[in-house]
């Protein structure tokens, strides 16, 4: 199992000690408080669960700008995206050094964390746009990541936090949400010697399923962690409970016993393409995976990134700064010639017509009409779950 990123041990910021937790909750009720953005809340959940090891809280402006420019903090830690608590209005907390952060995504905005405020800085519009352009590769307001980043506010509130709850993820996804601490522990309990991680924000079709089998076989892994994003997506993406049900059915029927963990994490998609791919690799190293699958257009949206930019960025990372092994995957599809799913680059004698290829739009149309995609594309049991969902939208 790989060591955590930049540290000998995992550093979850959730307060696990019951007595200390109670004391902090009581203290927090009497502190000045502010409802933070969904992005900042996602950062708190990830800090709490140890996924952001070795960070101790929200970055200041100097670190955020350094990360945007160099993919490293000012003290040299590899980190690809700023981890910020951006606010529109800081009048309620400006003179306070200790504050409570409230959850924007849960009714009545319960306390999410207690924060020691080290600095409140005002980023200029130029600095905000500079960070956005570096991280997302564009300033196009139609890019969902850019729009979200630039809408949160320009006050950078930095400092360490103590996390007191995991937002709605524990209650809404009790069987799926797991911290990096829990996943590390379960990998040890299962006795896996080498673990592959697969990130998804979509249901898994045959190509994804076979890609996981390929990665395990080629890297000699005996375990697979399917790690679903459970936070906010863009409109039109399939809700997490539907994805969860479809993936669990696939694992139950098409993977050997004790070879797969189906888990999820509480974070909103950034849609930052290559930069987010590096962030995702850090998450997986922190949760104990040895290998991470990066496919075509990983964490991309629209046509903002090249098909393999999310793989190529790893070639720019200095050796030793990231321990996790990257399994670089091509587009996978069912070959009519070979009668199995293959990576398209490994079938040079094939033309496009030799593969079963369906666009996402076409698949959604079929499912909405109650038409199962061909079994070469999607397992029938998985397709049924998705058909039920899409048809429920039309009722």
Which CATH number fits the domain that encloses residue 66? 3.10.400.10
Q: Residue 131 and residue 295: Cα distance in Å, rounded?
A: 26
In a domain, 376, yes or no: yes
How high is the pLDDT of residue 231? 80
User: Residue 302 — pLDDT band, cuts 50, 70, 90?
Assistant: confident
Do 109 and 239 sit in the same domain of this protein? no
Structural domains counted in the chain? 2
Tokens representing 258? 């004790």
Do 263 and 351 sit in the same domain of this protein? yes
In a domain, 228, yes or no: yes
Roughly how many angstroms between the first and final C-alpha of the chain, as a whole number?
48
251 has a pLDDT exceeding 80: yes
Average the pLDDT over 336-364 and give the result: 87
**Residue 212: which of 165, 160, 178, 251 has the closest Cα?**
251
User: Residue 239 — pLDDT band, cuts 50, 70, 90?
Assistant: confident
Do 88 and 212 sit in the same domain of this protein? no
How high is the pLDDT of residue 53? 98
Mean pLDDT check: name the lowest of 246-250, 323-327, 371-375.
Answer: 371-375
How high is the pLDDT of residue 234? 66
Do 182 and 267 sit in the same domain of this protein? yes
More confident residue, 214 or 344: 214
Query: What does the mean pLDDT of the chain come to?
Result: 93
66 has a pLDDT exceeding 90: yes
324 has a pLDDT exceeding 70: yes
Average the pLDDT over 107-117 and give the result: 97
Mean pLDDT check: name the lowest of 94-98, 140-144, 210-214, 342-346.
Answer: 342-346
In a domain, 5, yes or no: no
Task: Classify the phi-psi angles of 151: left when phi > 0, otherwise alpha if psi is within -120 to 50, otherwise beta.
Answer: alpha
Contacts of 170 (CB under 8 A, 6+ apart): 177
The single residue listed with the structure tokens 């352009």 is 133
Domain end, chosen from 170, 185, 203, is at: 170
The single residue listed with the structure tokens 């496919």 is 295
Contacts of 141 (CB under 8 A, 6+ apart): 147, 150
Average the pLDDT over 246-264 and give the result: 94
Do 212 and 329 sit in the same domain of this protein? yes
Domain end, chosen from 140, 170, 200, is at: 170
Q: Which domain holds residue 55?
A: 18-170
The catalytic site residues sit at 201-202
In a domain, 69, yes or no: yes
User: Residue 304 — pLDDT band, cuts 50, 70, 90?
Assistant: very high
| pLDDT tens figures, 72-102 | 999 999 999 999 999 999 999 999 999 999 9
Q: Could you give the 3-state DSSP secondary structure of residue 293?
A: strand
In a domain, 321, yes or no: yes
C-alpha of 48 from chain center: 15
Domain end, chosen from 106, 135, 170, is at: 170
Average the pLDDT over 140-156 and give the result: 95
How high is the pLDDT of residue 63? 98
Average the pLDDT over 30-45 and give the result: 96
Give me the CATH number covering residue 242. 3.40.50.620
Do 115 and 214 sit in the same domain of this protein? no
Tokens representing 249? 């059915």
Do 55 and 203 sit in the same domain of this protein? no
User: Residue 395 — pLDDT band, cuts 50, 70, 90?
Assistant: low
Q: Residue 103 and residue 357: Cα distance in Å, rounded?
A: 42
Do 223 and 321 sit in the same domain of this protein? yes
Do 367 and 225 sit in the same domain of this protein? yes
360 has a pLDDT exceeding 80: no
Do 36 and 149 sit in the same domain of this protein? yes
In a domain, 286, yes or no: yes
In a domain, 305, yes or no: yes
In a domain, 343, yes or no: yes
Do 213 and 349 sit in the same domain of this protein? yes
Do 111 and 41 sit in the same domain of this protein? yes
The answer to whether the beta carbons of residues 150 and 125 sit under 8 Å apart is: no
More confident residue, 374 or 71: 71
How high is the pLDDT of residue 312? 95
Average the pLDDT over 169-189 and give the result: 95
């Amino acid at each position: 199992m790989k060591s955590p990123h930049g540290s000998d041990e995992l550093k979850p910021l959730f307060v696990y000690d019951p007595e200390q937790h109670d004391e902090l909750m009581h203290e927090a009720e009497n502190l000045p408080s502010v409802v933070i953005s969904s992005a900042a809340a996602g950062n708190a959940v990830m800090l709490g669960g140890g996924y952001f090891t070795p960070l101790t809280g929200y970055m200041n402006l100097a670190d955020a700008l350094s990360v945007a420019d160099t993919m490293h903090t000012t003290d040299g830690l590899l980190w690809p995206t700023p981890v910020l608590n951006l606010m529109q209005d800081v009048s309620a907390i400006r003179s306070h050094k200790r504050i409570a952060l409230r959850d924007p995504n849960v009714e009545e905005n319960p306390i999410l964390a207690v924060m020691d405020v080290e600095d409140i800085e005002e980023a200029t519009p130029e600095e905000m746009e500079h960070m956005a352009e570096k991280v997302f590769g564009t300033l196009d307001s139609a890019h969902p990541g850019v729009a979200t980043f630039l809408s949160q506010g320009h006050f950078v509130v930095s400092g360490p936090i103590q996390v007191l709850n995991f937002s709605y993820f524990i209650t809404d996804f009790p069987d799926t949400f797991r911290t990096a601490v829990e996943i590390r522990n379960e990998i040890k309990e299962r006795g896996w010697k080498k673990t592959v991680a697969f990130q998804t924000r979509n249901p898994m079709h045959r190509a994804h399923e076979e890609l996981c089998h390929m990665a395990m076989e080629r890297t000699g892994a005996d375990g697979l962690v399917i790690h679903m994003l459970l936070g906010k997506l863009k409109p039109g993406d399939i809700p997490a409970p539907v994805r969860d049900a479809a993936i669990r059915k696939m694992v139950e029927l098409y993977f050997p016993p004790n070879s797969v963990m189906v888990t999820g994490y509480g974070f909103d998609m950034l849609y930052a393409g290559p930069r987010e791919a590096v962030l995702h690799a850090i998450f997986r190293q922190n949760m104990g995976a040895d290998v991470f699958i990066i496919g075509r257009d990983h964490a991309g949206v629209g046509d903002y990134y090249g098909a393999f930019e999310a793989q190529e960025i790893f070639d720019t990372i200095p050796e030793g700064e990231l321990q996790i092994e990257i399994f670089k995957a091509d587009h996978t599809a069912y070959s009519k010639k070979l009668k199995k799913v293959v990576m398209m680059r490994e079938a040079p004698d094939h033309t496009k017509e030799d593969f079963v290829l369906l666009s996402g739009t076409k698949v959604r149309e079929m499912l909405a009409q109650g038409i199962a995609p061909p079994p070469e594309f999607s397992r029938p049991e998985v397709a049924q779950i998705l058909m039920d969902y899409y048809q429920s939208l039309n009722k």
